[in-house]
Amino acid sequence: MSRIAYFGPRGTFTEQAARSFGDAEFVAVDTVPLVLAAVRAGEVDAGCVPVENSVEGAVTATMDSLAEDEPLYAVGEAILPVRFSILTRPGVKAEDVKTVASHPHALAQVRYWVAENLPNAVPVATTSTASAAVRVNEGEFDAAVSAPVAVMHYPLHELATDVADVDTAVTRFLLLRRPGHLPQPTGRDRTSLAVIIAHDEPGSLANTLSELALRGINLTRIESRPLRGQFGEYRFYLDLDGHIAEQRVGDALAALHRNSRQVRFLGSYPKADESTSDAPARATDADYQAAAEWLAKVREGL
């Protein structure tokens, strides 16, 4: 049976996401970098980590490691709705709560609710939502902002359920493997890249994006992170519809490789939402094939 590490401990949203990929032996690991390190070291077959939340944005620990450390490829994604339970030790009332602990992304998603309902509470960051529950159980903090499943693992009381400042909030998770396991195209695929564009000159980002637009490729996400040392230099994270095995996507990636300082492929994998990744008219593999055949003939002088 394959072994999947997930950002734990037991009872995180990430555990739920990991279990959605099917039967496996699941291994809880305390932080995102340690999950990715376990995959790189071959201690597990795959690792599941959060990558972005619709309210708070990117999970930078995931993005930085995927772009900078030894390569890993995404082979699957999961998208979960995010609504929280507020867990306390039995007998603790809202007015007694002086500290409310959780992962920073979770605290950001209940900021207004906490201000209104736990007016005496100071927010405290923990490594994950479930580690907050562990520490509330140990008496360190008064309340944890947790995934609803956490109450099944820790003997805590639900002070409130279904808590979220934004009703429709979702988090996206990736299943990552060492290179060598490219999933087959399904017609509903996403490709992820990290790109450092070549020069800080007018139009260089527009030129990069034009390589995608010209080939009818739909960009689903663009996010930048500074290259740490100074302002003015950024790495762009691009998610686009389509699979690297498709002609238009391969062609665009080759063009980016020619024109950019660095292109790192982060995976082509089936999308978790219902949308397709069909090529538009005149950009299908058959269109590319026909054009290549025409060119070959012309080059032979025919």
Ligand X SMILES: O=C(O)C(=O)C[C@]1(C(=O)O)C=C[C@@H](O)C=C1
184: exposed, middle or buried (Cβ count in 10 Å: 0-12, 13-18, 19+): exposed
Q: Smallest distance, Å, CB 38 to ligand X?
A: 16
Which of these ranges, 114-122, 128-136, 228-236, 292-300, lies near ligand X under the rule CB under 6 A? Answer: 128-136
> Of the listed pieces 7-15, 18-26, 39-47, 294-302, which binds ligand X according to CB under 6 A?
7-15
Tell me the window of 124-132, 156-164, 197-205, 267-275 that interacts with ligand X (CB under 6 A): 124-132
In sequence order, the 6+-apart residues with CB closer than 8 A to the CB of 213 are: none
Among 85, 88, 99, 129, binds ligand X (CB under 6 A): 129
**For residues 237 and 198, is the Cβ–Cβ distance under 8 A?**
no
- Sheet harboring 143-146: ordered strands across? 122-125, 99-102, 143-146, 84-88, 157-163
Q: Partners of 195 in the beta sheet?
A: 236, 263
What's the length of the chain? 302
How distant is the alpha carbon of residue 77 from its chain centre? Answer: 8
Q: Between 138 and 177, how does the x/- string for binding to ligand X read (CB under 6 A)?
A: ---------x-----------------------x------
164/209 with CB nearer ligand X = 164
Please state the closest distance from residue 12 (CB atom) to ligand X, in A: 3
Q: Which stretch binds ligand X (CB under 6 A): 116-124, 125-133, 209-217, 276-284?
A: 125-133
The verdict on 105 binding ligand X (CB under 6 A) reads: yes
Q: Print the binding letters for residues 34-73 with ligand X: x by CB under 6 A, - otherwise.
A: ----------------x--x-----x--------------
Distance CA 147, CA 131 (A): 11
Tokens encoding 46: 């795959």
219-226 sheet: strands from edge to edge:
219-226, 234-241, 189-197, 260-270
Minimum distance of ligand X from residue 134's CB (angstroms): 12
- Residues at the site binding ligand X, with contacts judged by CB under 6 A: 7, 12-14, 50, 53, 59, 82, 103, 105-106, 128-130, 147, 171
